[in-house]
Every structure is written in C-alpha cells, then in structure tokens.
Amino acid sequence: MFLSAMPILLTTIKLSPIIRLRKILHKMEKLTTKQRLLLIGLLFTEAMTMFWIVPKANADVIDVQVWLINRHILSFNYKPGSLKKE
C-alpha cells in the first residue's frame, strides 16, 4: 500500500509550487488599486530602508531597525477587504 501511494505523493510535491503560484496570482487579481498602491508603498519603504539606513548603521542599530520593521509589518495585520469602504 505504501508503494502505491508514492507516485501520488511525488506528483503532489512537484505541483505544489505551481498551485501556490496560481493562488498568489488569483489573490493579486482581486486586489483593488488602493491595495496595490499600499503594497507597492510598503515594498518601496522596505527597499529604501535596506538601501539607505542599513549600510550606514552599526550592528546593534541594524538589529533594532530590522526588529522594528518586522514588528510594524506584523502589526499591520493586512486583510484583503480591510481597505474597502462599507
């Protein structure tokens, strides 16, 4: 029985990245313009932080800044419908 299940498991493992990509693309298609701009803004802020602040800081400061950025992103708690007016 174990050997007969192996091809199914291998097929599932090979297809999982494709399925994940399709799910991500499906979510991106549902985003409104405001949500897309917010996402781009967050990515731009992260890029500016990594490009400008991190190379000039000491190691201790980098740890604090990365911790603060991660805390801010985690506290954002983004939900797809959170920006829609009710």
**Model confidence over 31-76: pLDDT tens digits?**
777 877 887 888 888 877 777 766 665 555 555 555 555 555 555 5
Average pLDDT in the 16-29 region?
Answer: 71
Q: From CA 71, how far away is CA 62, in angstroms rounded?
A: 14
Is this prediction's pTM over 0.85?
no
Categorize the per-residue pLDDT at 10 as very low, low, confident or very high, splitting at 50, 70 and 90.
Answer: very low
Q: From CA 2, how far away is CA 84, in angstroms rounded?
A: 49
Does residue 23 carry a pLDDT above 60? yes
Task: Write down the domain spans for the chain.
Answer: 1-30, 32-86
